[in-house]
Amino acid sequence: MISELCISDLAGNVEVVLAHQGHIEAPNWHPDGQSLIVNGGGRIWRVPLAAPALDPIPTGFAVRNNNDHGPSPDGKWLAISDSTLTGASCIYVVPIGGGEPRRVTRDCPSWFHGWSPVGTRVVYPGARDGGPILIHACALDGSDERCLSPGFDHADGGEFTPDGAWIWFNGERGGAVDIWRVRPNAADLQRMTDDASVNWFPHPSPDGRHILYLAYPPGTKGHPGGLDVTLRLMPQAGGAARDLVRLRGGQGSINVPCWAPDGKRFAFMRFHDHLRD
């Protein structure tokens, strides 16, 4: 497999940053604006844009990292999701340059997806007491966990808008998977897409203007990889979405926050069987 780490602007112009023979996923844009963060093989990697290559970020005992990770708003911490000690995914934070993990979520499974704008809370999908996977948020010491999406058959993603007013996520009801938003206190739930596509992983841009999300073909179950999918852009205020990039991917393409700090570009992954000319 060839994993292409890419950057797109808002016109859909794509630049390939790194073509890696192997499987890497889920790019974040580092707060310094000069590098990207990905996962692969259970590890977390930094990719400098000036000289693209996989540079390992040490994560101590956490060597079974999945593709749910992201830097804090102040650039000091990196949230990771790892199952080394717990058997199921648990959220930890490490210093942005690497270090020993400090546990955040008390219950598992939990998969990181977003930070609050001031960096005091994280939002994430998790399953509790044998129930479905739903959106939760908690403080960095694991306290005050709240479920934000009761009544859904499944919910995933979960990201704050830059002003902290909304949390966007994808939710399934009656077989339809759409993009939704809700207040951080679980009030004022709103459905933001209503079409035949299976819509996942909404990402609010840091300038407050756009929502980037991934649209699967109608009838897709779950969020698999290896499909022809579309990255779409819609206004944060709501409204019609437009197709931006078509690619081979899905799982691992834009699972986690991927916008550049200025909101003018974003990173994503696409996948191929062989190197292309």
Rounded mean pLDDT of 142-152?
97
Residue 202 lies in a domain: yes
**88-98 in b/e burial notation, b at 16+ Cβ within 10 A?**
ebbbbbbebee
Rounded mean pLDDT of 104-129?
98
Residue 203 lies in a domain: yes
Q: What is the mean pLDDT of the chain?
A: 97
Residue 79 lies in a domain: yes
Cβ neighbour number for residue 260 with a 10 Å cutoff: 18
Is the pLDDT at 53 greater than 70, yes or no?
Answer: yes
Instruction: Give the pTM.
Output: 0.96
Q: How confident is the model at residue 273 (pLDDT cuts 50, 70, 90)?
A: confident
- Cα–Cα dist 56/37, whole Å: 10
Number of structural domains in the chain: 1
Note the pLDDT of residue 275.
59
CATH code: domain of residue 21 = 2.120.10.30
Residue 34 lies in a domain: yes
pLDDT single digits (tens) 54-90: 999 999 999 999 999 999 999 999 999 999 999 999 9
- Cα–Cα dist 29/222, whole Å: 25
Note the pLDDT of residue 81.
98
Residue 162 lies in a domain: yes
Asked whether 113 and 125 are in contact (CB, 8 A), the reply is yes
By residue range, what is the domain housing residue 15? 2-272
Closest CA to 104 of 129, 79, 75: 79
Residue 27 lies in a domain: yes
Residue 277 lies in a domain: no
Residue 107 lies in a domain: yes
Amino acid at residue number 50: A
pLDDT single digits (tens) 239-269: 999 999 999 999 999 999 999 999 999 999 9
pLDDT single digits (tens) 8-39: 999 999 999 999 999 999 999 998 899 999 99
Is the pLDDT at 277 greater than 50, yes or no?
Answer: no
pLDDT single digits (tens) 69-79: 999 999 999 99
